[in-house]
Chains A and B, each alone.
With several copies, the nearest count.
Chain A
Amino acid sequence: MKLRYFAWVRERIGKPEEEIEPPAGIATVADLMTWLSRRGEEYAHAFENPKVIRAAIDRTHVRGDAAIFGAREIAFFPPMTGG
């Protein structure tokens, strides 16, 4: 699946997107954040406070307990500040 990062999540991780294949057992968005934060310092920094990170699956807002099965694109970003 494709992961996309925006704003300071993107800056901390150091790239706007990447392809990953999470291992079996990573069922939800929250699981995915925990797994990602163990991939290195930059990820640990990006996800150090998972409560403030928002996520979207296939371009729709979801909560941490959303299942990632079948997702093509998952995005992580800070709270939005448009308008």
Chain B
Amino acid sequence: MAATIRLQREPFDAASEAAKLRRGRGDIGAVVTFTGICRSDESGAPLAAMTLEHYPGMAEAEVARHVEAAERRWPLLGVTVIHRYGRLEPGEDIVLVVTAAAHRQDAFAAAEFLMDYLKTRAPFWKQVEYADRKTWVEAKSSDDALAERWTLPDGRDEAAE
């Protein structure tokens, strides 16, 4: 299965990415699209902007590894992951995951799996700007807990190998 993985500064068009996945295919019965968006406040404080730093080279490799893990785990018919970096203003898209499958539960599970892993394993770091200060976003233990849902019964993290 050909997956699309892109890290880019530019905005993306979720609709055209989802349309590209489906085009000319009769076997797809379910498409799940997740869009992560820069909110206008963080813990109640109004946000001026968010800057995403990433580790070029490693970020692509980590995302690709997790897409491959998702493909081994669910019968997917298409996957697109786009992650932006650089400075984003409130309301702008940060990340897009699109999964396509014959059946909905595979598309949903793979999209959640990919998002949980992007949050905890892909080398991206968010810095948020308020009116008077900048601060690095702290990793949430709740995100680690979500990512652990996908650990295999024997304790292996499929994509870490």
Contact = CB atoms under 8 A, between A and B. Distances in A.
B52 interface: yes
B58 A75 contact: yes
Interface in A38-83: 56, 59-61, 75, 77-83
Interface residues of B, number: 31
A83 B127 contact: no
Nearest to B128: A81
Most buried by A among B52, B123, B137: B123
Nearest to B125: A7
Given A6-B53, A7-B53, A61-B121, A79 B58 contact: no
Interface size class of A (residues with CB under 8 A): 10 to 19
A77 to B, nearest CB: 7
B160 A61 contact: yes
Contacts of B49: none
B61 A80 contact: no
Interface in B102-133: 104, 115, 118-127
B119 A81 contact: yes
Interface of B: 36, 52-55, 57-59, 61-62, 83, 94-95, 104, 115, 118-127, 136-139, 143, 160
Given A81-B137, A82-B59, A83-B122, 11 more contacts: A6-B53, A6-B55, A56-B123, A75-B55, A75-B123, A78-B125, A80-B139, A81-B139, A82-B125, A83-B95, A83-B119
